Amino acid sequence: MKVVFLSYARVMNQSDPKTWLQKIIFYTGIAEAMARKVKVESVHCIDYEGTLEQHDVTYHFLRLLKLGIVFPLRLHKYVSKLDADVVIVHGLIFPWQLIQLQNTLRKSSRIFVQHHAEKPLRFHKAFFQRYADQRIEGYFFTEAGLARPWIDAQQIKRNEKVHEVMEVSSSFQCTNVDRDKKRYLWVGRLDHNKDPLTLLNGFSIFLKKNPHCVLTIIFRGGTLRSEVEAIIKEERLSGSVILIEDVPHIELEHHYNQSSFVIATSHYEGSGTAVCEAMSCGCIPVLSEIPSFIFMTGRGKVGFLFERGNAQALANALEKSSFIDVEKYREQVLQQFSKHLSHDAIANKMLSVINDGADG
């Protein structure tokens, strides 16, 4: 069996294929894990033409104009020549392209689409998605709740097409078990969706009973920096909250391995890359109760969930975290990552869905 991953994202600020693959390692690691069992190829649209072999995957790169994505005749002709048994398309925002792809592939080729945090489409794209859905065999969502708006909008016709598969993974590793049990970490943009204000308000409440705990906030961009700094000043948190800006991605592994807990206060995520990376390093998750985080924690079996946007609920969850056996809990987190969030786990789940469909 041959599986081809296909991305319609046109990234013209990337001209080095190796650099690009390293940048998207949370996706490429899945393809490379799958390649240990079946033939895998992957197609990308960057500012480079050529192929590259890496970890048993053949990566194809095409340089296309914008019109070449809207009417991807050349791209689809190229993909058709790969003669895939299964095509997995990244993202639910390309229904027009999917309709054209369906008319290009051989009839026995099967199409799956992986959700990357998109929300139901509007206007003409909604019409195209309903049409494209007729020949899409299945969809990979991190958690079934994320698919509900698509089903309600009739852009996915049947619940049976939705399969719970983690969106991304992490290549980071747990390298330090002797870490500060009172150190918490938050990673993200300072914006309304990531909600650092609830983070600070909740942590401030928690500090009143746990004054020796420390929160590190690693951020890049966002519109709420002044509000964040104002809360830190007003609540006198400067001794307990550390702000760090623009940490290179590779250096995050060190910060994860210095922290016992990871906090996420997001209102919406397709999965949660930072949380996944933190869990791969053994950080115990304290997360807002949204669909993707429900899945990642095994529906709350590993970690602590709280109502999103509720600072008191966050403080209560943090209070619970202060009483656990951290070493024992860390082992449970690492087991959850290995079984459900790792590259191998995701690749195996995708192949299981594909093979079950072939048997049916």
pLDDT tens series, the chain, 360 aa: 999 999 999 999 999 999 999 999 999 999 999 999 999 999 999 999 999 999 999 999 999 999 999 999 999 999 999 999 999 999 999 999 999 999 999 999 999 999 999 999 999 999 999 999 999 999 999 999 999 999 999 999 999 999 999 999 999 999 987 889 999 999 999 999 999 999 999 999 999 999 999 999 999 999 999 999 999 999 999 999 999 999 999 999 999 999 999 999 999 999 999 999 999 999 999 999 999 999 999 999 999 999 999 999 999 999 999 999 999 999 999 999 999 999 999 999 999 999 997 655
pLDDT of residue 360: 53
Q: What is the CATH number of domain 2-169+343-359?
A: 3.40.50.2000
Instruction: Answer whether 270's CB lies under 8 Å from 258's CB.
Output: no
First to last CA, the chain: 16
CATH 3.40.50.2000 intervals, the chain: 2-169+343-359, 183-341
Contacts for 101 with CB less than 8 Å, ≥ 6 apart: 6, 72, 76, 79, 87, 89, 111
Separation of alpha carbons 259 and 214, rounded Å:
10
Give the contacts of 74 (CB within 8 A, at least 6 positions apart).
62, 64, 68
* 11, two tokens: 């990234």
Locate 183 and state its tokens. 């150190």
Which pLDDT score is estimated for 108?
A: 96
Instruction: Give the model's pLDDT for residue 357.
Output: 78
User: Regarding the domain with residue range 183-341, which homologous superfamily does it belong to in the CATH classification?
Assistant: Glycogen Phosphorylase B; (3.40.50.2000)
